[in-house]
Amino acid sequence: MTDHKLAVPAVLLGAWLATGCGTSGPETFQATGTVTWKGQPVPMGMLRLEPDTKAGNSGPGAVAEIIQGRYATPRGKGVVGGKYRVYVSGTDGVPYDNPEEGYRDPLGRPLFVDMVQEVEFPRITTTHDFILSAP
């Protein structure tokens, strides 16, 4: 058998595996919005969206990067709707050398870590703004 006869089945198998082996999972919706802290856009950070299982939400979690006060969950990897606990971390966005840890931190110094908000997302693509203040 020549190599080109094996190429087509290999490409088809690769495409099938890349799409999740034929399973799609629950439908997710993109969440976008802004993140402010003390009235200013958060320069850099991260949102971790965890379904609130105590409220009956068994959907998948999601993450989104905060850049210049804006975030968006990746398409196809958003929220399913329902109640979520959202953990928000933010940094000043100014890279600095961290001699104590022995590396350069490209995200900057922390402004805050894991401020938590409870959010109920609709079952559609949505916008939700996070307005945070000092504890």
The token pair that represents 127 in the structure block: 């916008």
pTM: 0.77
The token pair that represents 72 in the structure block: 């968006």
pLDDT at res. 3: 44
SS3 42: coil
Mean pLDDT of the region 125-129: 97
CA 67 to chain centre: 12
Nearest of 51, 117, 54 to residue 78 by alpha carbon = 51
Q: pLDDT digit string (tens) for 34-86?
A: 999 999 999 999 999 999 999 999 889 999 999 999 999 999 999 999 999 99
Q: What angle do CA 114, 117, 74 make, to 5 degrees?
A: 80
